[in-house]
Structure 1
Amino acid sequence: MGEAESKISNLGSISQGAGIHILGHMVKTVLTLVTTVILTRTLGASLYGIYAYLLLTLPLCLIFINLGANNSLLRFIPKFGESNDKSQAFVTLSATISLIMSVVVGVLLFIFAPTLSELTIDESLFSKTLRILALMLPFYGLTNIGASVFKSIEKLHYTILVKSISRPLFRLCFVGGAVLLGFSIIGATIGLVLSSIGTLLVAVFLLSKSTHFSKVKTPTKSDVVSYLKFSIPLTFNQMGSLLYKRTDIFMIGLFLSSAAVGVYQISITLAGFLALPLTAFNQLFPPIASRLYSNGRLSELEDLYEIVTLWIFTICLFPTILLVINAEEVLEIFGDGFSDGVWVVTLISLAQLANAAVGASGYLLMMTDHQYIVTLNQVVSGVANVVLNYILILEMGLIGGAVATATVISSINIARVVQVWYLEDIFPYNLNYIKPVIAGGAAAVILFLLGFKLSGLQLLVLSLILGGSTYLGIIIMLLSDDEIEPIKQIIAE
């Protein structure tokens, strides 16, 4: 296969993965939105804040449970192949580590739940829910291992089935159902445990039926050393990532109120949807990048990175404009009191656009064996976010958290692009970025004009239809034949 055919094939694989991820995420969004509306309208901002803070505890626990397993599997399984005994040994190793660490972390969480509650949301209910949450950690950790295995062998549809369909569906049934039946926040937390068990059962079934990883293979000492040399730095990387992504809401719980946590969580969740294009294209970019880099096909890797980055930015730009201009109308969907998060939505949305504009730069650094640079990035940005949030939340309240986090997200993404350029001589930008900017400007004018005449749901619907049509129409008009041809070939395949 020639380089041109290989590039189209890889773009096709990444695009197909992105499409599957977006479809799955649409299902996840609907299920999560229904669950969230049930919780916010039934529990109110204060109790929902406890639930939101509880969910934020899970990523922190997962870092110590999985010890970088998700990215390590993305690196090693594509390198050796699905059927290779080494790949199966790495899966066995990651699952064993996850199970042991989940028990350790769960015990610690159960013991120190009252202390954590006093340091953050000082309410007895939060302490009780933390202790219930400890029970779900083994199931949650192993499920994420399974999802990473599917992703590493490019069977993304199974990852979507587990994380984007099964998990939110079980949460709607068990969490939403518990609240509707009157069991309040305690019932919702028990529902989280039950939904995690159900999701793990789905993952195990799919792994046993559709992969070669149903058998246990004992890793060698060298396998363990290789795995830990890669995974341990990425554990610190994930800790830094969590600090720069979630320090704001942890500190809002520390310095403000559970109601403020609820408002902030809804706001950043809405802005977080803008990361969907980046997340979608990142599903299969890492294993493909790892394979290209391992085979010395660097020019092909650069072309792939350049095209994918432009596509991500183009897809993300209009939704960002739509959400920023209509932030108040969107927040009102969740009930009284949530419109206080307008500026939070605006600032974090712009930061997410900056995140999208650099594409898969973080994964590119990681897959080209610069994991220590990736770790340093995350640790430095995490510490910076802690400092900025501490200062700005005390000075500005809710908005201060958004200012701090948006600043750090934008800065770290600029740093990643510069590092990729310096270390690998790969730069993704060209004059083609002018095209989505022109289309976005035209769409923004239409949305502003609609805002003078309409409001509420009517404004949202017409903004989506008229603004989206304008944006898409101008993009299509400005595309060159060289840009259209790869898209046609991908569709034809």
Structure 2
Amino acid sequence: MISQLVHRIQSMEPARRQFLFHAALAAIFRVLSAAAAFLLSVVAARVLGAEQSGLFFLGMSLAILLGTLCLMGMENALLRFIGLAGEQENANLTNQVFTNALFAVLPFSAMVGGMTYLAAPWLAINVFSKPEATESLRYFSLAIPFVSLFFLNGYALQATRKVIASVCSMQLGVTVLALPALLMLAHYQPNPMAGTASVLYVIASGLVVLSGMWLWFRVPTHRLDTSDRKMPALWKSVPNLWLISATSQAIPWASVVIVGLFVTSEEVAYFSAAQRTSLLISFMLMVINFVAAPRFSALFKADKFDELKRLAQFSTRLMIVFSIPVLTVVLIWPDTIMALFGKEFSQSGQLLVILAVGQTINVMTGSVGFLLTMCGYERDMRNITLFAGILTVTLILIFTSLWGIVGAALAVSIGVSTQNILAVHKVEKRLGFWPIG
């Protein structure tokens, strides 16, 4: 059977073999990243306890939410324009795009981080009704520029197909550094606090930014290039790409923040843990998007529509096959999985099932978001994500006030499903094929 599989892979066209190789490489490191993120949630919950870990997750969610917003859509712009520049072997365009992105994101994220630091006491008391959250919110505000920069580095490396470097420059790097620090914290403090854990996360984020910058500039052709600060095509696309990114990436983190307005710190921890675990369902979607996004842009620009269709449909089938076993395990043993975070978390298995259903629909619709944005239809995706984002936030506010964290989980699943179903229809209309074919 293995020999047949090897023979089948060898008989594939070179482009598809290369895609599978990069997908396999991305999968290995994304597995490590997902496992590390899951382990970080478990360790934080066990070391800090339900109440303190709730404060930790709340601060981290706010930092990642604001950090992704401060990217201003540049992550998708990097994938699109640097991905295209790579196909054309245009090093000047690569450097100009990265420089424009860096010089826009760095001051903006630093300003937002400073404002959040000053507003932390007000946010803790008047927004979250948790005065005890002030310390962790202040510390996590310092991580906001680091979050923006390590994501920026990671997406730039992704666009140049540096798979390992890209994954390590984002969440995997932070998690790998934060995990042992949290474990050691339990030995040095009898009752570890969220504030101390927050400081460790900030330090880890800063170190990952430095390593990511080193990985980018160690390439001989990479340098800062300020010769073209206007770049009309880039800046014209950025507002739409920012709205897409701000809505689609921020909703998972914003949901935790919104839930924190209505429920206790312990329930925030339950919801955050269930949500992060449900993302394991869409693991292969993230892997495929990681590899396919720059290729979508290059194929569309080269008018290779048949290859674009085949790549999109092949990648959808691939991610469905690998996601079904994970979904099966989640549906059969949700309480057991959640109990890994601690005995008190076992009661939140229902949340995991609800969120898993939404992620399953996300996987089955394929890479619809990247198909639209990488092929120049960012306005369509902007409209879809804005509608789905407003719907999700509205439902979270209503459902959480009515049914608590179960309502919040239901709202998130409905929002994710709605966004992807609408995007499938738009892909068929604009590109002329169904990505799930």
Tell me by how many angstroms 1:260 deviates.
Answer: 0.4
> Does structure 1 retain, via aligned residues, the 8 Å contact 2:316–2:364?
yes
How does 1:324-473 map onto structure 2 within 5 Å?
A: 324-430=331-437
Q: Which residue of 1 aligns with 2:161?
A: 154
Residue of structure 2 equivalent to 1:71: 76
The AA in structure 2 aligned to 1:58 is: A
Distance 1:189 1:12 in 2: 43
Cα distance between partner residues in 1 of 2:11 and 2:303: 14
Q: Residues 6 and 410 (structure 1 numbering): CA distance in 2 closer, same or farther, change over 3 Å?
A: farther
Does the C-alpha gap of structure 1 residues 335 and 106 become closer, same or farther in structure 2, counting only changes over 3 Å? Answer: same
State the 1:174 CA deviation: 2.9
Q: Is 1:231 matched with 2:238?
A: yes
Could you say which residue in structure 1 is the equivalent of 2:96? 89
Distance 1:106 1:382, change over 3 A: same
Q: Do residues 240 (structure 1) and 247 (structure 2) align?
A: yes
Cα distance in 1, alignment partners of residues 117 and 172 from structure 2: 29
CA contact (8 A) 2:43 2:341 kept: no
1:204 CA displacement: 2.1
Match of 2:169, SS?
helix
Per-residue CA shift, 1:16-74, capped at 9, x if unaligned?
22222221123234433443333212221111111111121123212332211111011
Structure 1 distance, partners of 2:100, 2:132, is 37
* Residue identity matched to 2:119: F
Structure 2: gaps spanning 5 or more residues: 1-9
Task: Decide which structure has the larger Cα Rg and report it.
Answer: 1
Choose 25-34 or 308-317, whichever is displaced more.
25-34
Q: Check if 1:217 corresponds to 2:222.
A: no
1:203 equivalenced with 2:208 (yes/no): no
Matched AA of 2:284: P
Query: Matched residues in 2 for 1:413 and 1:180: separation?
Result: 45
Shift of 1:245: 3.1
Which has the larger displacement, 355-364 or 161-170?
161-170
- SS state at 1:337 partner: helix
Equivalent pairs counted in the alignment come to 424
Residue of structure 1 in register with 2:44 after alignment: 39
User: What is the rounded CA distance, in whole Å, between the counterparts of 1:115 and 1:13 in structure 2?
Assistant: 52
Residue 49 of structure 1 aligns with which residue? 54
- Quote the residue 1:257 is aligned against: 264
Q: Distance in 1 between matches of 2:146 and 2:399?
A: 37
Flag the 1:428–1:335 CA change in 2: closer, same or farther, 3 A: same
* 1:332 alignment partner AA: A
Paired residue type of 1:329:
T
- Matched residue SS, 1:128: helix
Normalising by structure 2, we get a TM-score of: 0.92
Corresponding position: 1:302 with 2:314: no
> Is 1:128 matched up with 2:149?
no
Where in structure 2 are the equivalents of 1:150-189 lying within 5 Å? 150-163=157-170, 165-182=172-189, 183-189=192-198
233 and 368 in structure 1: CA distance in 2 versus 1, 3 angstrom threshold:
same
**Residue 257 of structure 1: how far off its partner (Å):** 0.8
1:126-148 Cα offsets, whole Å, 9 max, x none, are 22222212222333322222111
What's the counterpart of residue 18 of structure 2?
Answer: 13
In 1, Cα distance between equivalents of 2:47 and 2:229: 53
- Distance apart, 1:211 and its partner CA: 5.3
Alignment deviations for residues 185-241 of structure 1 (CA, whole Å, 9 cap, x no partner)? 11101101110121122212222223522x211142541x32221122111112221
- What secondary structure is seen at the aligned counterpart in 2 of 1:91? helix
Show structure 1 runs of 5+ residues with no match.
431-493
| Residue number in structure 1 paired with 2:4 | none
Query: Displacement, 1:109?
Result: 0.5
Instruction: Give the deviation of 1:325 after TM superposition.
Output: 1.1
Contact residue 76 and residue 241 of structure 2 kept, 8 A: yes
CA distance in 1, matches of 2:171, 2:201: 15
Cα distance in 2 between the residues matched to 1:165 and 1:304: 27
Deviation, structure 1 residue 427: 1.1
Distance 2:312 2:323 in 1: 16
Shift of 1:244: 4.0
Given that 2:110 and 2:145 are in contact with CA atoms closer than 8 Å, whether structure 1 keeps it comes out as yes
CA distance in 1 between counterparts of 2:355 and 2:334 reads 11
User: What residue is the counterpart of 2:297 in the other structure?
Assistant: 290
Q: Give the alignment partner of residue 268 of structure 1, picking from 270, 275, 285.
A: 275
CA distance in 2, matches of 1:48, 1:343: 20
3-state SS of 2:435 partner: coil
Q: Distance in 2 between matches of 1:219 and 1:343?
A: 55
In the aligned structure 1, how far is the partner of 2:159 from the partner of 2:225?
18
